[in-house]
Structure 1
Amino acid sequence: MKKLPPLTQFPYPGLRPFTRYESDIFFGRDEHTRELLKKLKETHFIAVLGESGHGKSSLVNTGLVSSIQAGFLDSAKIRWRVAQLHPGEKPLTNLATELKKAFAPTGEEESSPPSESSLPDEKYIIKLRNPSWYLPEGTCLLLLVDQFEEIFTHTSSTHKNTKTFVTELLRASQLSNVYVVISMQSEYLGKCAQFHNLVEAINQGSFLVPRLTHEQLREAIEYPARIFFGKVESSLVDRLVADFVDDPDQLPLMQHALMRMWNKAVAEKKTEIKLTLNHYKDIGEKNALSKHAEELYNKLTSKQQEIAEVLFRNLTDRDDYDNLCRSPVRLDKVAPLAEVSGEVVAEVVKVFCHGTDETDKPNFIKPCENLATETILELSHASLIRYWPLLKQWAEADAEDKELYLRLEKDAIAYHDYEEKLKQHQGWNQLKGNSNTSSTSKVPVLWQGNDLNKALEWQERMGNAAEHWVKRYHKKQSQEFDQPSFKKTINFLKRSKEKHGGNTPKEQVQQGVAKKIESLKSKWTTTTEKFTRGIIWWLFGSVAFVISVFMFAKSFEITTGILSIIIWGTLVFLSYKAFEHYDRYKELKGTTTKSKGLKVKKPK
């Protein structure tokens, strides 16, 4: 039996978008929803456009869908089936999966999504061409494609299945009982020209999502709390509006801050739940998102922190516009990169999903439930990359690693091919002569200098996970992983090190330690010599002092007495210097001994 939609349990969803079942807490978008409905009456295809953080997904998922199902689009059309999807890496497969659910008879259990290895079920794509034959009489179909830009970021737009996916959407929008709505970041609009008739369809039915006004923000802040019999202090409302009205990520940041404050207010267990400025200050004010992320990260063990870095590096990428963006990844693809089991990775995921106590509930990663090895993980919102400095640092570092490796692989293959050609033409000696050619030459050369050191550092940091990491980036570029090319690249790196003597960071540290030890040994030797000379002079002085005292005791001559005093003073001075050098000798000996046993940590 089909399950009923879950009831809303919290007034604020946090970082994730609103779902279609949360219309009771969705405020501030009534005007925009009415405009969308008006456009959808005029054309069966609408592209909802806007920058990241403007609330496109929430507007479509919650505002539009709930209004359509309530009959606000057309009073005669009140029976609807909704197929909602993200294109992901396999858009046609995902479309077939959602159509299978939409065409299923009412009351049947929704089928589980196909595995990654399965092909699209073509019969459901064919059904989309004549949905009236398979849907109950008077039923309309709404195709909702959220984050449409994934056909550019997660797969190749030139792939046959991707083109078929777009073609089927456009064909379906021409039918009387099918409506198609896509949401997409506006910066990808130009790329839509790659698909026949897509730009024309967008021109006829586009809706650019505006930011919320002051009044709309107030509604989004105050009204959800009232639904749950809570209040928001008026001074806090004013502060939130002032902080977020001009922020490009106003909605996810504000919703996350409200969610955090609500959870803290509930945890206080007072008779009245009221959000105040003190709650806002406690969560970090406008920096609540980054503070929350840092708190969760700092609660992890050192090993879990290493896994978290690998996880978040895999959840980000750089798009064609050089912007950092989200990148979904299967849980079992992260595990070998972190060199742990999938269960261990899942434990880290749960921390960033559910938090560590009842006041957390971060929802930084989705999905949060039923984690399995084949689960596809994704950041809840791209604003996390922009506002959590540590994640941004990881994402940028991983993007730089990607660029470095792709350049290394290209040069390695070129060098290998050039080498083979020279061997075929008995030009091996020419290769040796050109191996030191400058980088501006067209002749492929081994790497050296800073590039070589960076590549060696990457290899050392990746360790045994290097091959898994390379497979991941080849897949993102819709390329098959080539084992021979990978081996050529590693061999090229090895030969570059042998010829030009590049050093990994660990080796550089070890060399620095060795130099320090040599320096200490030199100082130790010098100090030892001074100490030895001081002891010898002290012994001579002692003998001279004893003799002079003996002579003075026998003769009582003033000259002998003065000489004894001078010798005594010299003896005191030499003794002082000798023991001074002895203290320095012990200090250097201890430092050198410690340096010999110094352990060098593997750089991250």
Structure 2
Amino acid sequence: MGQVNVSPYQGLAPFEPEQAEVFFGRAQATRDLLGRLGPRLEERGTILLVSGSSGVGTSSLLRAGLMPALAEGAPPLTGSARWPCLLMTPTADPLRALAEVWVRAFGGQVEAVRERLCRDPRDLPSELSGTDAPDGRFILVVDQFEELFTLVDDERERQVFVHALHAMADGPRGAGVVIGVRAAHRDRCAAYPQFAEALQDGHVIVEPMTGSDLRLAVTGPAAAAGLEIEPGLVDLALSELGEGRAADGRYEPGALPWLSRALLGTWERRENGRLTIRGYEESGRVRDSVRRTADEVLAGLPPEDRKMALRVFRRLMVLTAGGRAERRRATLAEIHAAAAAGSAERRERVGALLSVLAGRRLLTLDEDGAEIAHDALLSGWPPLRQWLEPDLTAQALYDGLVEEAGRWADHGRDSAFLYRGARLLAVQEAGPRWERDPDSFPTPGPTVMEFVAASAKAARKAKRRRGLVIGGMAVLLVLAVTAAILAVAARQDAPTPEARPYPRSCG
């Protein structure tokens, strides 16, 4: 690379094919993709499905890992160097997007190709005489396939697009169709029979990076750009991300983009071609890179979506006993409930918001849920704390109620699990507030309602028992006092020794 004015770090943006020389840490993952794709393309075309959690680097792997390797004819696909390699994302008009990349590669008119895609995608017009692919084969990489579900409302258009992809792979040209999709949307692909074989035998999961992968992702781009790294900087940066390491030593899915964002700021403060610890600290480290990104996202949202984002973030947090906010994973059903997404339109809007937040690496999405991408958001983003401060206690009480009601039900509705005293009083006092804000505090299910009713009933019984006990004690006290008074009176009425007559003598 060697361009002193071009950063080798991408920040939160994915790497592109032309940036392959500064794409490090995914060599093994690239070889694994080639190893899966090669045998499937030996005699026919194929569809390969590549999925990973948001932030794990699926787009960068496809664009800056797989595509350059294919262009070089890397084994086992040594003949792929002669194959055109097309890259697209579905967008809101996937058929037009596909027609446009086809025309750029093979010529023709966009509208004519789009029309042919709808009618018979096996017989697309092309001008392959100007290419170096005598067998007519090509590779089509469809990145961010989840856009087909988040941006396209017409199910018929979705089906036509999927049919076109399958026809390219199954047709005479035997194309290799590589689909990159977020894990959160992978299950939706199962609704299309054309993906059945790919889901069963042609599915590759992109794993989070290991420590050695991330270290190379820092040192490799620097070396390629002719930059020197101050000793200790890499260890310092990785230590900030180390809190989120899994048991197998892998980092969080969003570790690389956050680290890359911090290193971009460090590069901007480089000193004579040297990345320094001082520059890293002045850039705000990982924590401040998170804050800056979050501020940018927030400023770009419409007011209504800002409120929705607040509700989503609140659902993704939990308070510990000491009052510390921590991340918690929430299912899509929980997120929809928190955002009052009762209608299909509202759920689509929530889905679009989640895509925006995940696209900027603020959230991590998986098959059926989401979580905040980094702990730095909880403590390092002031607007989040300001938004949530008034409701954190109420949210903790609400979450605790739902959890305890479930525990009560799981234990055969044992009265030992019911709320009593201050906890029951707090829930009863919070009830009206929850009712005034159903968007934030959705009406709980019947189990919770029955739990509160049973707790209140038990409290009333206990109060009546206390009343009876107190009443009984009061009666006993009155009787005791009365007895004492009578005893005193009896002693007062009794003759004193001086007043008693002497007994007469006998005789």
Aligned residue for 1:86? 89
Counterpart-to-counterpart distance in 2, 1:101 and 1:7: 32
Aligned residue for 2:281? 281
C-alpha change, 1:154 and 1:289, in structure 2 (3 Å) is: same
Contact 1:80 1:141 in 2 (8 A): yes
How many residues end up aligned between the 2 structures?
325
Aligned residue for 2:205? 208
1:126 positional shift: 5.9
Aligned residue for 1:239? 236
Equivalent residue for 1:383, pick from 355, 361, 364: 361
Counterpart-to-counterpart distance in 1, 2:168 and 2:307: 35
Matches within 5 A, 1:310-349: 310=303, 313=306
- Any idea what SS the aligned residue of 2:359 has? coil
Counterpart-to-counterpart distance in 1, 2:158 and 2:114: 15
TM-score, length basis structure 2: 0.55
Equivalent residue for 1:101, pick from 99, 104, 107: 104
Aligned residue for 2:476? none
The one-letter code sitting in structure 1 at the alignment partner of 2:67 is V
Q: Which runs of 4+ in 1 moved over 6 A?
A: 294-297, 314-319, 377-380, 390-396, 449-456
Are 2:195 and 1:190 aligned? Answer: no
> How far does the alpha carbon of each residue in 1:321-357 deviate from its partner, in whole angstroms, 9 at most, with x for none?
5569xxxxxxxxxxxxxxxxxxxxxxxxxxxxxxxxx
Equivalent residue for 1:69, pick from 64, 68, 71: 71
1:12 positional shift: 0.6
Counterpart-to-counterpart distance in 2, 1:174 and 1:7: 46
C-alpha change, 1:127 and 1:230, in structure 2 (3 Å) is: farther
Equivalent residue for 1:160, pick from 156, 159, 165: 156
Counterpart-to-counterpart distance in 2, 1:91 and 1:143: 13
Are 2:254 and 1:249 aligned? Answer: yes
The one-letter code sitting in structure 2 at the alignment partner of 1:256 is R
Bigger RCO of structures 1 and 2 (CA < 8 A, at least 6 apart): 2
Contact 2:72 2:80 in 1 (8 A): no
> How far does the alpha carbon of each residue in 1:202-261 deviate from its partner, in whole angstroms, 9 at most, with x for none?
222111112222222121101111122112223111122333352231111111111111
Matches within 5 A, 1:356-371: none
Stretch moving more, 70-79 or 130-139: 130-139
Contact 1:82 1:143 in 2 (8 A): yes
Stretch moving more, 123-132 or 218-227: 123-132
Contact 1:49 1:186 in 2 (8 A): yes
Stretch moving more, 308-317 or 29-38: 308-317
Counterpart-to-counterpart distance in 1, 2:299 and 2:178: 40
C-alpha change, 1:382 and 1:294, in structure 2 (3 Å) is: closer
Contact 1:127 1:134 in 2 (8 A): no
- Any idea what SS the aligned residue of 2:78 has? coil
C-alpha change, 1:164 and 1:313, in structure 2 (3 Å) is: farther
TM-score, length basis structure 1: 0.47
C-alpha change, 1:128 and 1:390, in structure 2 (3 Å) is: farther
Counterpart-to-counterpart distance in 2, 1:379 and 1:217: 23
Matches within 5 A, 1:497-536: none
> How far does the alpha carbon of each residue in 1:486-524 deviate from its partner, in whole angstroms, 9 at most, with x for none?
xxxxxxxxxxxxxxxxxxxxxxxxxxxxxxxxxxxxxxx
- Any idea what SS the aligned residue of 1:180 has? strand
The one-letter code sitting in structure 2 at the alignment partner of 1:25 is V
Counterpart-to-counterpart distance in 2, 1:263 and 1:181: 36
- Any idea what SS the aligned residue of 1:76 has? helix
Counterpart-to-counterpart distance in 2, 1:279 and 1:142: 42
Are 2:61 and 1:59 aligned? Answer: yes
Aligned residue for 1:34? 31
C-alpha change, 1:295 and 1:45, in structure 2 (3 Å) is: closer
> How far does the alpha carbon of each residue in 1:189-213 deviate from its partner, in whole angstroms, 9 at most, with x for none?
2222211131322222111112222
Equivalent residue for 2:176, pick from 176, 179, 188: 179
1:313 positional shift: 4.4
The one-letter code sitting in structure 2 at the alignment partner of 1:229 is G
Contact 2:116 2:123 in 1 (8 A): no
Give unpaired runs (5+ residues) of structure 1. 1-5, 106-110, 298-304, 325-376, 397-448, 457-604
Matches within 5 A, 1:5-24: 9-24=6-21
Aligned residue for 2:146? 149
Counterpart-to-counterpart distance in 1, 2:123 and 2:146: 27
Contact 1:15 1:256 in 2 (8 A): yes
Give unpaired runs (5+ residues) of structure 2. 41-45, 242-249, 313-330, 337-354, 364-371, 389-431, 440-507
Counterpart-to-counterpart distance in 2, 1:395 and 1:153: 28
C-alpha change, 1:284 and 1:390, in structure 2 (3 Å) is: same
- Any idea what SS the aligned residue of 2:209 has? coil
Counterpart-to-counterpart distance in 2, 1:286 and 1:306: 20
**Aligned residues with identical type, % of pairs:** 25
Equivalent residue for 2:116, pick from 123, 145, 154: 123
Counterpart-to-counterpart distance in 2, 1:202 and 1:294: 35
Contact 1:27 1:220 in 2 (8 A): yes
1:315 positional shift: 11
